[in-house]
Amino acid sequence: GAGVSQSPSNKVTEKGKDVELRCDPISGHTALYWYRQSLGQGLEFLIYFQGNSAPDKSGLPSDRFSAERTGGSVSTLTIQRTQQEDSAVYLCASGGGNYNEQFFGPGTRLTVL
Amino acid sequence: KNQVEQSPQSLIILEGKNCTLQCNYTVSPFSNLRWYKQDTGRGPVSLTIMTFSENTKSNGRYTATLDADTKQSSLHITASQLSDSASYICVVSGVSGTYKYIFGTGTRLKVLA
């Protein structure tokens, strides 16, 4: 498929454990975003990658959150020592073309028990 | 503070009826406004993108309007179908070329047979 894919689709973990969420962007897209969507809330910006430039990490809520993008393609969002308030849907989007349009993946639903 | 507010929060209509969703924003400067459709368990999908110079844009049965003076937008859905049941999210971008977007919390639409 040509769309953005994310894995896993669902992740249940225990408080205090680390989790890794993966995003495969659309081939050729230089921009990649991570967002968090909590119930009843708008999408919350987490981090932005653009080509080889330094990422904008200004949206990461704490130092337990980190992300990397290897080879300008696949990205991994890591949450260390998960807390219950981390429970949310984590959405990845890649961007390109006019207006830097964003194409979203299906998201990973994270549940921290 | 840059904000995007949507109304109503939720809406129930009968199949075949029309409806209009509202979006008010305070983002300034303004570059473009997007409407997304988000099906349950899926990532948002772009419906329309409008710049400040456009006041209407259609995509099939979806028609978006924009009044940049009053900072209001609407999404009109004509002859609704069961598949229109989803959340509709208004997203505003500030300075042209920025990758920072302000997301509304969405309107949850339910179309009943």
pLDDT band at B98 (very low <50, low <70, confident <90, very high): low
pLDDT band at A110 (very low <50, low <70, confident <90, very high): very high
pLDDT given for residue A97 in this prediction: 62
Which residue, among B101, B102, B107, B108, would best test binding to A if mutated, counting the most A CBs under 10 Å from its CB?
B101
- Of A96-105, B12-21, B30-39, give the lowest mean pLDDT range: A96-105
Residue B74 has pLDDT above 90, yes or no: yes
Residue A44: strand pairing partners: A36
pLDDT band at B25 (very low <50, low <70, confident <90, very high): very high
Mean pLDDT over each residue of chain B, to the nearest integer: 92
Terminal alpha carbon distance of chain A: 33
Q: pLDDT (tens digit, 9 = 90+) per residue, A52-69?
A: 888 999 899 999 999 999
As a whole number, mean pLDDT of residues B59-75 equals 95
pLDDT given for residue A96 in this prediction: 74
Please give, rounded to a whole number of angstroms, the shortest distance from the CA of A31 to a CA of chain B.
9
As a whole number, mean pLDDT of residues A76-97 equals 94
Q: Is the peptide bond before A61 cis (omega within 30 degrees of 0)?
A: no
Phi/psi at A85 (5° precision): -70, -10
Please give, rounded to a whole number of angstroms, the shortest distance from the CA of A2 to a CA of chain B.
14
B43 and A4: CB-CB below 8 Å? yes
Spatial separation of the C-alpha atoms in residues B101 and B113, rounded to whole Å: 35
Q: Which two tokens stand for residue A61?
A: 């809520």
B42 and A101: CB-CB below 8 Å? no
Spatial separation of the C-alpha atoms in residues B59 and B54, rounded to whole Å: 14
A33 shares contact with chain B (CB less than 8 Å):
yes
User: Is B102 buried (19+), middle (13-18) or exposed (0-12) by CB count in 10 A?
Assistant: buried
Angle, CA of B63, B95 and A3, to the nearest 5°: 60
Spatial separation of the C-alpha atoms in residues B105 and A43, rounded to whole Å: 7
Please give, rounded to a whole number of angstroms, the shortest distance from the CA of B104 to a CA of chain A.
5
Question: Tell me, what DSSP letter sits at residue A52?
Answer: T
pLDDT band at A99 (very low <50, low <70, confident <90, very high): low
- Residue A60: half-sphere exposure toward Cβ, Cα within 13 Å: 17
- Which chain A residues have a beta carbon less than 8 Å from that of B4? 42
Cβ contacts of residue A84 below 8 Å, gap of 6+?
A15, A112, A113
Which residue, among A34, A43, A104, would best test binding to B if mutated, counting the most B CBs under 10 Å from its CB?
A43
pLDDT given for residue B94 in this prediction: 79
A106 and B45: CB-CB below 8 Å? no
Residue A1 has pLDDT above 60, yes or no: no
pLDDT given for residue B19 in this prediction: 98
pLDDT given for residue A42 in this prediction: 84
Spatial separation of the C-alpha atoms in residues B68 and B66, rounded to whole Å: 6
Q: Is the peptide bond before A25 cis (omega within 30 degrees of 0)?
A: no
- Which chain B residues have a beta carbon less than 8 Å from that of A44? 103
As a whole number, mean pLDDT of residues B36-41 equals 94
A95 and B106: CB-CB below 8 Å? no
